[in-house]
Amino acid sequence: MTSGASPRAFAALADADTAPSAPIYLNLNENAFGPSEAVAPALTREFGRLSRYASDALAQPFLEQVATYEHLPVEQVIPGEILGGLGLWLGSRGGHGGEFLYSAPGYTALVDAAAHVGGEAVPIPLNARYENDLDAFREKLTPKTRAIYLINPHNPTGTVTETDTFLRFLREISQKAPVIVDEAYLEYTPDFERRSAVQLVREGANVLVFRTFDKIHGLAGLPIGYTLAPASVVSALRQQGYGNAESLGRLNITAASAALGDTAHGARVRNIVSEERAKWTSFLDRQGRKRSDTVTNFVFFDAGLPQVELAAYLRKQGIEIGRTFPPYTNWARITIGLPEENRKAQGALERLWR
Protein backbone atom coordinates (compact mmCIF):
# COMPACT_ATOMS: atom_id res chain seq x y z
CA MET A 1 0.00 0.00 0.00
CA THR A 2 1.43 3.36 -1.01
CA SER A 3 -1.24 5.64 0.47
CA GLY A 4 0.71 6.35 3.66
CA ALA A 5 -1.82 4.47 5.82
CA SER A 6 -0.83 1.13 7.31
CA PRO A 7 -3.19 -1.85 6.83
CA ARG A 8 -4.13 -1.61 10.52
CA ALA A 9 -4.83 2.11 10.28
CA PHE A 10 -6.77 1.56 7.10
CA ALA A 11 -8.95 -1.06 8.80
CA ALA A 12 -9.53 1.19 11.78
CA LEU A 13 -10.64 4.05 9.57
CA ALA A 14 -12.85 1.80 7.50
CA ASP A 15 -14.54 0.36 10.57
CA ALA A 16 -15.16 3.76 12.11
CA ASP A 17 -18.82 4.57 12.57
CA THR A 18 -18.66 7.85 10.65
CA ALA A 19 -21.09 7.16 7.82
CA PRO A 20 -23.85 9.76 7.43
CA SER A 21 -27.48 8.65 7.62
CA ALA A 22 -27.98 9.17 3.89
CA PRO A 23 -25.36 8.05 1.35
CA ILE A 24 -23.51 10.65 -0.69
CA TYR A 25 -23.59 9.63 -4.34
CA LEU A 26 -20.47 10.80 -6.15
CA ASN A 27 -20.39 7.85 -8.52
CA LEU A 28 -22.41 8.45 -11.69
CA ASN A 29 -21.47 12.01 -12.72
CA GLU A 30 -24.98 13.27 -12.05
CA ASN A 31 -25.67 16.98 -11.65
CA ALA A 32 -25.99 17.42 -7.89
CA PHE A 33 -27.48 20.89 -8.37
CA GLY A 34 -30.57 19.61 -10.13
CA PRO A 35 -32.52 20.70 -13.20
CA SER A 36 -33.86 24.09 -14.16
CA GLU A 37 -36.68 25.52 -12.05
CA ALA A 38 -38.72 25.48 -15.25
CA VAL A 39 -38.79 21.67 -15.32
CA ALA A 40 -41.05 20.92 -12.33
CA PRO A 41 -43.95 23.19 -13.42
CA ALA A 42 -43.75 21.79 -16.95
CA LEU A 43 -43.96 18.24 -15.60
CA THR A 44 -46.88 19.16 -13.32
CA ARG A 45 -48.83 20.47 -16.29
CA GLU A 46 -48.19 17.19 -18.09
CA PHE A 47 -49.34 14.87 -15.27
CA GLY A 48 -52.95 14.98 -16.44
CA ARG A 49 -51.90 13.42 -19.75
CA LEU A 50 -49.99 10.44 -18.36
CA SER A 51 -52.63 8.00 -19.59
CA ARG A 52 -51.65 8.94 -23.14
CA TYR A 53 -48.56 7.86 -25.05
CA ALA A 54 -46.25 10.57 -26.26
CA SER A 55 -47.11 11.54 -29.81
CA ASP A 56 -45.61 13.55 -32.64
CA ALA A 57 -47.74 16.48 -31.49
CA LEU A 58 -45.46 16.63 -28.44
CA ALA A 59 -42.21 15.38 -29.97
CA GLN A 60 -42.18 17.50 -33.13
CA PRO A 61 -42.02 20.89 -31.35
CA PHE A 62 -39.19 19.51 -29.21
CA LEU A 63 -37.38 18.31 -32.31
CA GLU A 64 -37.76 21.75 -33.88
CA GLN A 65 -36.55 23.38 -30.65
CA VAL A 66 -33.38 21.26 -30.71
CA ALA A 67 -32.82 21.95 -34.40
CA THR A 68 -33.12 25.69 -33.85
CA TYR A 69 -30.77 25.52 -30.86
CA GLU A 70 -28.18 23.61 -32.89
CA HIS A 71 -28.67 25.62 -36.12
CA LEU A 72 -29.50 22.51 -38.13
CA PRO A 73 -32.54 21.32 -40.09
CA VAL A 74 -34.81 18.87 -38.26
CA GLU A 75 -33.79 16.21 -40.78
CA GLN A 76 -30.37 16.13 -39.10
CA VAL A 77 -31.64 15.60 -35.56
CA ILE A 78 -32.76 12.32 -33.99
CA PRO A 79 -33.89 12.38 -30.35
CA GLY A 80 -33.23 9.69 -27.78
CA GLU A 81 -30.40 8.02 -25.88
CA ILE A 82 -29.44 6.04 -28.98
CA LEU A 83 -25.72 5.31 -28.65
CA GLY A 84 -26.49 1.61 -28.23
CA GLY A 85 -28.88 1.64 -31.16
CA LEU A 86 -26.37 3.50 -33.27
CA GLY A 87 -23.79 0.83 -32.46
CA LEU A 88 -26.21 -1.93 -33.49
CA TRP A 89 -26.99 -0.17 -36.75
CA LEU A 90 -23.37 0.53 -37.64
CA GLY A 91 -22.25 -2.94 -36.57
CA SER A 92 -24.81 -4.67 -38.76
CA ARG A 93 -23.85 -2.77 -41.91
CA GLY A 94 -21.25 -4.26 -44.23
CA GLY A 95 -21.09 -7.70 -42.64
CA HIS A 96 -19.18 -9.05 -39.65
CA GLY A 97 -15.69 -7.92 -38.69
CA GLY A 98 -16.02 -4.16 -38.98
CA GLU A 99 -13.71 -2.42 -36.54
CA PHE A 100 -14.85 0.23 -34.06
CA LEU A 101 -12.03 2.38 -32.71
CA TYR A 102 -12.50 3.96 -29.27
CA SER A 103 -10.43 5.39 -26.43
CA ALA A 104 -9.84 3.06 -23.50
CA PRO A 105 -10.74 3.19 -20.76
CA GLY A 106 -14.00 4.87 -21.63
CA TYR A 107 -17.76 4.66 -21.98
CA THR A 108 -18.46 1.66 -24.19
CA ALA A 109 -22.22 1.53 -24.87
CA LEU A 110 -21.76 2.08 -28.61
CA VAL A 111 -18.87 -0.32 -29.20
CA ASP A 112 -20.41 -2.98 -26.95
CA ALA A 113 -23.61 -2.86 -28.99
CA ALA A 114 -21.64 -3.11 -32.24
CA ALA A 115 -19.81 -6.17 -30.90
CA HIS A 116 -23.15 -7.93 -30.34
CA VAL A 117 -23.81 -7.89 -34.08
CA GLY A 118 -20.36 -8.86 -35.30
CA GLY A 119 -18.36 -5.67 -34.90
CA GLU A 120 -14.89 -5.71 -33.37
CA ALA A 121 -14.08 -3.16 -30.66
CA VAL A 122 -10.52 -1.82 -31.02
CA PRO A 123 -9.37 0.00 -27.86
CA ILE A 124 -6.90 2.87 -28.25
CA PRO A 125 -4.98 3.75 -25.05
CA LEU A 126 -5.02 7.35 -23.88
CA ASN A 127 -1.95 9.52 -24.37
CA ALA A 128 0.39 10.68 -21.60
CA ARG A 129 -1.99 13.57 -20.80
CA TYR A 130 -4.92 11.14 -20.38
CA GLU A 131 -6.52 12.52 -23.55
CA ASN A 132 -7.79 10.87 -26.72
CA ASP A 133 -4.62 9.86 -28.60
CA LEU A 134 -5.41 11.17 -32.07
CA ASP A 135 -2.13 10.01 -33.60
CA ALA A 136 -2.81 6.47 -32.39
CA PHE A 137 -6.24 6.59 -34.00
CA ARG A 138 -4.64 7.55 -37.30
CA GLU A 139 -2.26 4.60 -37.03
CA LYS A 140 -5.05 2.13 -36.27
CA LEU A 141 -7.29 3.23 -39.12
CA THR A 142 -7.65 0.48 -41.75
CA PRO A 143 -10.06 -0.42 -44.56
CA LYS A 144 -11.87 -2.52 -41.93
CA THR A 145 -12.64 0.51 -39.78
CA ARG A 146 -16.42 0.86 -39.60
CA ALA A 147 -16.52 3.87 -37.27
CA ILE A 148 -14.56 5.89 -34.71
CA TYR A 149 -16.07 6.77 -31.34
CA LEU A 150 -14.61 9.64 -29.32
CA ILE A 151 -15.76 11.16 -26.03
CA ASN A 152 -14.73 14.80 -25.72
CA PRO A 153 -14.29 15.68 -22.88
CA HIS A 154 -13.29 12.13 -22.14
CA ASN A 155 -14.80 9.92 -19.47
CA PRO A 156 -13.30 8.93 -16.99
CA THR A 157 -10.43 11.43 -17.24
CA GLY A 158 -12.40 14.63 -17.91
CA THR A 159 -9.77 15.89 -20.36
CA VAL A 160 -10.68 17.84 -23.49
CA THR A 161 -8.62 17.83 -26.68
CA GLU A 162 -7.32 21.18 -27.94
CA THR A 163 -10.05 22.53 -30.20
CA ASP A 164 -8.26 23.31 -33.46
CA THR A 165 -6.32 20.05 -33.31
CA PHE A 166 -9.48 18.07 -32.64
CA LEU A 167 -11.57 19.67 -35.39
CA ARG A 168 -8.73 19.31 -37.89
CA PHE A 169 -8.49 15.61 -37.00
CA LEU A 170 -12.24 15.14 -37.44
CA ARG A 171 -12.25 16.78 -40.87
CA GLU A 172 -9.39 14.55 -41.97
CA ILE A 173 -10.48 11.23 -40.52
CA SER A 174 -14.20 11.54 -41.32
CA GLN A 175 -13.31 11.30 -45.00
CA LYS A 176 -12.28 7.70 -44.32
CA ALA A 177 -14.83 6.54 -41.73
CA PRO A 178 -17.76 8.03 -39.80
CA VAL A 179 -16.82 9.63 -36.50
CA ILE A 180 -19.17 9.73 -33.52
CA VAL A 181 -18.32 12.43 -30.97
CA ASP A 182 -19.94 12.05 -27.57
CA GLU A 183 -20.19 15.53 -26.05
CA ALA A 184 -22.06 14.55 -22.87
CA TYR A 185 -19.77 16.74 -20.74
CA LEU A 186 -18.77 19.48 -23.18
CA GLU A 187 -21.27 21.99 -21.82
CA TYR A 188 -19.24 22.12 -18.61
CA THR A 189 -16.64 24.11 -20.57
CA PRO A 190 -17.36 27.86 -20.89
CA ASP A 191 -16.57 27.90 -24.62
CA PHE A 192 -18.39 24.68 -25.53
CA GLU A 193 -20.01 26.17 -28.63
CA ARG A 194 -16.59 26.91 -30.13
CA ARG A 195 -15.30 23.48 -29.13
CA SER A 196 -18.27 21.49 -30.39
CA ALA A 197 -17.98 19.21 -33.40
CA VAL A 198 -21.51 20.22 -34.43
CA GLN A 199 -19.94 22.77 -36.78
CA LEU A 200 -18.66 19.84 -38.86
CA VAL A 201 -22.16 18.37 -38.99
CA ARG A 202 -23.32 21.73 -40.36
CA GLU A 203 -20.54 21.57 -42.97
CA GLY A 204 -21.74 18.17 -44.18
CA ALA A 205 -18.87 16.09 -42.81
CA ASN A 206 -19.37 12.41 -41.97
CA VAL A 207 -19.55 13.29 -38.28
CA LEU A 208 -22.21 12.56 -35.67
CA VAL A 209 -22.51 14.44 -32.37
CA PHE A 210 -24.31 13.03 -29.34
CA ARG A 211 -25.62 15.17 -26.49
CA THR A 212 -27.55 14.25 -23.34
CA PHE A 213 -29.79 16.03 -20.86
CA ASP A 214 -28.55 13.68 -18.11
CA LYS A 215 -25.54 15.81 -17.12
CA ILE A 216 -25.49 19.61 -16.95
CA HIS A 217 -29.28 19.76 -17.44
CA GLY A 218 -29.81 17.51 -14.39
CA LEU A 219 -32.28 15.06 -15.94
CA ALA A 220 -30.60 11.73 -15.19
CA GLY A 221 -33.90 10.48 -13.71
CA LEU A 222 -35.70 11.21 -17.00
CA PRO A 223 -32.94 10.24 -19.44
CA ILE A 224 -33.08 11.68 -22.92
CA GLY A 225 -30.56 12.95 -25.44
CA TYR A 226 -30.20 13.55 -29.15
CA THR A 227 -27.82 12.94 -32.00
CA LEU A 228 -26.89 15.39 -34.77
CA ALA A 229 -25.95 13.61 -37.96
CA PRO A 230 -26.10 13.60 -41.74
CA ALA A 231 -29.72 13.46 -42.90
CA SER A 232 -29.17 10.06 -44.52
CA VAL A 233 -28.07 8.58 -41.18
CA VAL A 234 -31.04 10.09 -39.33
CA SER A 235 -33.41 8.71 -41.96
CA ALA A 236 -31.89 5.22 -41.73
CA LEU A 237 -32.10 5.21 -37.92
CA ARG A 238 -35.72 6.34 -37.99
CA GLN A 239 -36.52 3.50 -40.38
CA GLN A 240 -35.12 1.17 -37.71
CA GLY A 241 -37.57 2.62 -35.18
CA TYR A 242 -35.25 4.96 -33.30
CA GLY A 243 -36.35 8.44 -32.28
CA ASN A 244 -40.10 7.85 -32.30
CA ALA A 245 -42.15 9.83 -29.80
CA GLU A 246 -43.57 6.83 -27.95
CA SER A 247 -40.11 5.47 -27.12
CA LEU A 248 -38.94 8.83 -25.76
CA GLY A 249 -41.61 9.21 -23.09
CA ARG A 250 -44.01 12.07 -22.43
CA LEU A 251 -42.31 13.34 -19.27
CA ASN A 252 -38.82 12.98 -20.73
CA ILE A 253 -39.70 15.14 -23.72
CA THR A 254 -41.45 17.72 -21.54
CA ALA A 255 -38.55 17.98 -19.09
CA ALA A 256 -35.94 18.23 -21.83
CA SER A 257 -37.84 20.96 -23.63
CA ALA A 258 -38.14 23.03 -20.46
CA ALA A 259 -34.46 22.50 -19.63
CA LEU A 260 -33.25 23.46 -23.09
CA GLY A 261 -35.18 26.71 -22.88
CA ASP A 262 -33.36 27.81 -19.71
CA THR A 263 -29.80 28.54 -20.81
CA ALA A 264 -29.19 30.64 -17.69
CA HIS A 265 -29.50 27.54 -15.51
CA GLY A 266 -26.78 25.77 -17.46
CA ALA A 267 -24.51 28.78 -16.97
CA ARG A 268 -25.16 28.78 -13.22
CA VAL A 269 -24.38 25.07 -12.93
CA ARG A 270 -21.26 25.47 -15.06
CA ASN A 271 -19.98 28.27 -12.82
CA ILE A 272 -20.55 26.53 -9.50
CA VAL A 273 -19.10 23.25 -10.79
CA SER A 274 -16.05 25.19 -11.96
CA GLU A 275 -15.63 26.64 -8.46
CA GLU A 276 -16.00 23.24 -6.79
CA ARG A 277 -13.70 21.61 -9.35
CA ALA A 278 -11.00 24.16 -8.52
CA LYS A 279 -11.35 23.23 -4.84
CA TRP A 280 -11.03 19.56 -5.71
CA THR A 281 -7.94 19.97 -7.88
CA SER A 282 -6.32 22.25 -5.29
CA PHE A 283 -7.01 19.64 -2.61
CA LEU A 284 -5.54 16.83 -4.72
CA ASP A 285 -2.47 18.92 -5.51
CA ARG A 286 -1.90 19.66 -1.82
CA GLN A 287 -2.14 15.94 -1.14
CA GLY A 288 0.46 15.24 -3.82
CA ARG A 289 -1.93 13.18 -5.92
CA LYS A 290 -1.28 12.69 -9.61
CA ARG A 291 -4.43 13.67 -11.53
CA SER A 292 -5.84 14.40 -14.94
CA ASP A 293 -6.59 17.95 -16.10
CA THR A 294 -10.36 17.65 -15.90
CA VAL A 295 -12.79 20.24 -17.28
CA THR A 296 -15.94 18.34 -16.29
CA ASN A 297 -18.06 17.61 -13.21
CA PHE A 298 -15.72 14.88 -11.98
CA VAL A 299 -12.10 14.40 -10.99
CA PHE A 300 -9.80 11.48 -11.82
CA PHE A 301 -6.70 10.85 -9.73
CA ASP A 302 -4.16 8.30 -8.54
CA ALA A 303 -5.40 7.23 -5.11
CA GLY A 304 -2.20 5.41 -4.19
CA LEU A 305 -4.04 2.15 -3.53
CA PRO A 306 -6.39 -0.11 -5.51
CA GLN A 307 -9.60 1.68 -6.43
CA VAL A 308 -11.70 -1.17 -5.07
CA GLU A 309 -10.11 -0.68 -1.64
CA LEU A 310 -10.67 3.06 -1.76
CA ALA A 311 -14.29 2.56 -2.82
CA ALA A 312 -14.86 0.12 0.06
CA TYR A 313 -13.32 2.57 2.53
CA LEU A 314 -15.42 5.49 1.29
CA ARG A 315 -18.57 3.35 1.24
CA LYS A 316 -18.13 2.80 4.97
CA GLN A 317 -17.96 6.57 5.29
CA GLY A 318 -21.29 6.77 3.42
CA ILE A 319 -19.75 7.91 0.12
CA GLU A 320 -20.20 6.14 -3.22
CA ILE A 321 -17.67 6.76 -6.01
CA GLY A 322 -17.25 5.64 -9.62
CA ARG A 323 -16.16 2.18 -10.68
CA THR A 324 -12.63 1.12 -11.52
CA PHE A 325 -11.28 1.85 -15.00
CA PRO A 326 -8.55 -0.67 -15.97
CA PRO A 327 -5.66 -0.32 -16.60
CA TYR A 328 -5.86 2.63 -14.17
CA THR A 329 -6.67 0.32 -11.29
CA ASN A 330 -5.20 2.66 -8.65
CA TRP A 331 -7.05 5.67 -10.00
CA ALA A 332 -10.44 6.91 -8.81
CA ARG A 333 -13.19 8.92 -10.47
CA ILE A 334 -15.23 11.05 -8.10
CA THR A 335 -18.17 13.17 -9.19
CA ILE A 336 -18.24 16.78 -8.04
CA GLY A 337 -21.19 17.05 -5.67
CA LEU A 338 -22.68 19.75 -3.50
CA PRO A 339 -20.10 21.82 -1.58
CA GLU A 340 -20.78 20.02 1.70
CA GLU A 341 -20.57 16.64 -0.03
CA ASN A 342 -17.22 17.55 -1.54
CA ARG A 343 -15.91 18.66 1.84
CA LYS A 344 -16.94 15.35 3.42
CA ALA A 345 -15.33 13.34 0.64
CA GLN A 346 -12.13 15.36 0.84
CA GLY A 347 -12.08 14.98 4.62
CA ALA A 348 -12.40 11.21 4.31
CA LEU A 349 -9.56 11.10 1.79
CA GLU A 350 -7.37 13.32 3.93
CA ARG A 351 -7.84 10.99 6.90
CA LEU A 352 -6.84 8.05 4.73
CA TRP A 353 -3.75 9.73 3.29
CA ARG A 354 -2.62 11.31 6.57
Give residue-wise pLDDT tens across range 232-267: 999 999 999 999 999 999 999 999 999 999 999 999
- Residue 268 shares a structural domain with residue 237: no
For 124, what's the count of Cα atoms within 13 Å in the CB-facing half-sphere?
Answer: 23
On the question of pLDDT at 186 being above 80, the answer is yes
What domain range is 169 assigned to? Answer: 52-260
- Residue 134 shares a structural domain with residue 247: yes
- Tell me what pLDDT residue 22 has: 85
How far is it between the farthest Cα atoms of the chain?
A: 63
- Residue 241 shares a structural domain with residue 273: no
Q: What is the CATH number of the domain that holds 202?
A: 3.40.640.10
Question: Would 1 be classed as within a structural domain?
Answer: no
- Residue 202 shares a structural domain with residue 301: no
- Residue 226 shares a structural domain with residue 333: no
In three-state secondary structure terms, 328 is: strand
State how far the alpha carbon of 210 is from the alpha carbons of 17, 184, 206, 227, 259, in Å.
43, 7, 14, 4, 17
Among 242, 260, 278, residue at a domain's last position: 260
Q: Are 208 and 201 in contact (CB under 8 A)?
A: yes
Among 260, 289, 313, residue at a domain's last position: 260
Question: Would 300 be classed as within a structural domain?
Answer: yes
- Residue 249 shares a structural domain with residue 309: no
Among 260, 291, 324, residue at a domain's last position: 260
Q: What is the CA radius of gyration of the chain?
A: 21
d(C-alpha 153, C-alpha 185), whole Å: 6
- Tell me what pLDDT residue 94 has: 78
Number of domains in the chain: 2
State how far the alpha carbon of 333 is from the alpha carbons of 4, 310, 324, 349, in Å.
20, 11, 8, 13
- Tell me what pLDDT residue 95 has: 77
